[in-house]
Homo-oligomer: A and B are copies of this chain.
Amino acid sequence: MGRKTSKDQPTDQRLPRLGVEPYLQLMGRTAAPETDAKSAHMGLVMLWLSDHILDVMDEELASYGITESKLDLLLLLILHQDKGMITPSAIAARLGIRRASATALLDWLEKRQWIAREQSDQDRRMIHVSITPEGKELVERLLPAFWRTCASLVEVLEPEERAVFEKVLLKLNDTIEKRLDAGR
């Protein structure tokens, strides 16, 4: 966060990242013979692209004073509203983090009055979490820009490219989600 305002010493210069070529050369000597070079190259670019995409989104969200993890939590609360009350445990389970981590996020959001905690009457160990009007206001204010930014990621593509890309994207995402789920 705050990469925009960073200054360090006034003379700090940003050297260009190494291009892909040196990496490909290194791959030539270090990849196992059965690894397809073209695929590995594409995967490497995907890895870089992934980093860049998260950087872009972090910067966008930083201008609203929030981060992706915390926005995820707020969106979960909004999307869950009609389905009744939600507890910190359920939030953690849905976000794929530990309950202790959820507690930390909730503390931060509560301090800013964007969420509220209320003890359950049925089971006094449980807490019901909800988004406040202020929290909703923030999300409503930020979402248009969020969708704009999402859209901007693929806007350079030509119509022909988009059709294939869309299919590929969903396929890759499904595959990797299954792969990650498998390891749990």
Cα distance A149–B4 when bound, in Å? 33
A42 touches B165 (CB 8 A): yes
Complex contact A93–B13 (CB within 8 A): yes
Q: Which residue of B lies closest to A79 (CB)?
A: B22
Chain A contributes a number of interface residues (CB within 8 A of B) equal to 86
Residue A151 lies at the interface, judged by CB distance under 8 Å to chain B: yes
CB distance from A14 to the nearest CB of B (A): 6
A104 within 8 A of B: no
On whether the beta carbons of A32 and B148 are closer than 8 Å, the reply is yes
Contact with B along A59-84 (1 / 0, CB 8 A): 10000000000000001101100000
A179 & B56 in contact (Cβ 8 Å cutoff):
yes
Known: A99-B8, A164-B165, A165-B42. A35 touches B151 (CB 8 A): yes
**Contact between A8 and B151 (Cβ–Cβ < 8 Å)?**
no
A1 interface contact, C-beta 8 A: no
Q: Is A122 in the interface zone, CB < 8 Å from B? A: no
A22-B79, A140-B30 as given contacts; A51 in contact with B48, CB under 8 Å: no
Closest 10 CB pairs of A and B: A43-B150, A50-B50, A39-B151, A15-B93, A31-B147, A30-B143, A43-B153, A40-B151, A40-B147, A164-B164
